[in-house]
Amino acid sequence: MSVAPDKKDATAERARQLADAGQYAQAIKVWRQLLDGSPNDANVYNTIGDLALKIKNNPGAIDAYYKAARLFVQEGFHLKAIAVYKKIRKLEPDRAEVYTLLGDLNVVRGLMHNAVADYLSSAKLFLKAGKTMNALTLLRKIAKIDPQNTDVRMRMAELCLKEKLK
């Protein structure tokens, strides 16, 4: 059920009141009604993620957070996207893709040290999962942004030898 544009503020207020009263599942339903008419509202997805966590619905929270983060990136709100991806990372610390996305956003923001740390974390997780090519891709990214990092270049060479690559 879509919410009429002139009723959005009242609907959002109702959702907040439900959440304040501890009725998180009901609040999520009301927030979702707002999405019917405005499906690209990153803040609503972020709020839904927070509420889903309160009812121990981690998969629902993660799904909402991914949608929020993607929309924040599309809108150019990189710092907000980083904050949301960090929420996902806290819930799923072994998901390599989250670290990669954080690294990419840190590169955009010019935070190369953070990007290198995120890419290294992601590469380690990919290696642990047997995804050597994914790890190599990340090590190449690190070598590009930190050409003086000889440890990364050595690790790339080792992986290339192991995989019989040139």
pLDDT tens, position by position, 85-144: 999 999 999 999 999 999 999 999 999 999 999 999 999 999 999 999 999 999 999 999
The token pair at 3 is 């919410």
Mean pLDDT of 146-157: 92
- What pTM was estimated for this model as a whole? 0.89
What is the span of the domain harbouring residue 149? 95-166
Indicate the average pLDDT of the chain.
93
> CA 114 to CA 146: how far, in whole Å?
12
pLDDT given at position 129: 96
Question: Do residues 39 and 70 both lie within one domain?
Answer: yes
Q: Give the domain-ending residue among 77, 92, 107.
A: 92
pLDDT in tens, 25-83: 999 999 999 898 888 999 999 999 999 999 999 999 999 999 999 999 999 999 999 99
What tokens appear for 30 in the block? 């009301």
- What CATH code is carried by the domain that includes residue 83? 1.25.40.10
Q: pLDDT class for 3, splitting at 50, 70, 90?
A: low
Rounded CA-CA distance 124/145 in Å is 18
pLDDT band at 5 (very low <50, low <70, confident <90, very high): low
- What's the token pair of residue 96? 């390599």
| Per-residue pLDDT, 117 | 97
Same domain? 20 vs 84: yes
